[in-house]
């Protein structure tokens, strides 16, 4: 009878130990989740660039061509500012009941 009690106690200790180990694994996985996501994004970007070598050549040529005066950064900043302004204007216009896209299509036909 004492053997069965010892076995039951050992089983309880093993179950508790397994639960603690599962919790430790879960904590370790949560800590690694962000670095794994970053690595996954980097691999996806590398695969994209490998699939589009012409784009890589164009980017390198642009960087080399505009290297001296940081013109590339200036042009990118201006392009971003213009794009953001266009989005703000179109959102405002849609709020006023105007639709630039519809008018542009009608003008082309």
pLDDT in tens, 10-21: 999 999 999 999
pLDDT in tens, 19-58: 999 999 999 999 999 999 999 999 999 999 899 889 888 8
Its pTM stands at 0.41
Average pLDDT, the chain: 84
pLDDT of amino acid 10: 95
| Helices 53-65/2-51 angle, 10° precision | 60
Per-residue confidence at 90, pLDDT binned at 50, 70, 90?
A: confident
């Amino acid at each position: 009878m004492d053997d069965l009690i010892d076995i039951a106690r050992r089983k309880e200790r093993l179950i508790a130990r397994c639960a603690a180990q599962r919790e430790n694994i879960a904590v370790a996985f949560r800590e690694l989740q962000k670095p794994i996501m970053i690595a996954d994004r980097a691999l996806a970007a590398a695969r994209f660039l490998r699939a589009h070598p012409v784009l890589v050549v164009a980017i390198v040529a642009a960087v080399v061509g505009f290297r001296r005066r940081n013109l590339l950064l200036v042009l990118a900043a201006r392009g971003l500012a213009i794009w953001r302004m266009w989005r703000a204007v179109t959102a405002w216009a849609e709020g006023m009941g105007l639709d630039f896209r519809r008018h542009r299509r009608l003008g082309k036909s």
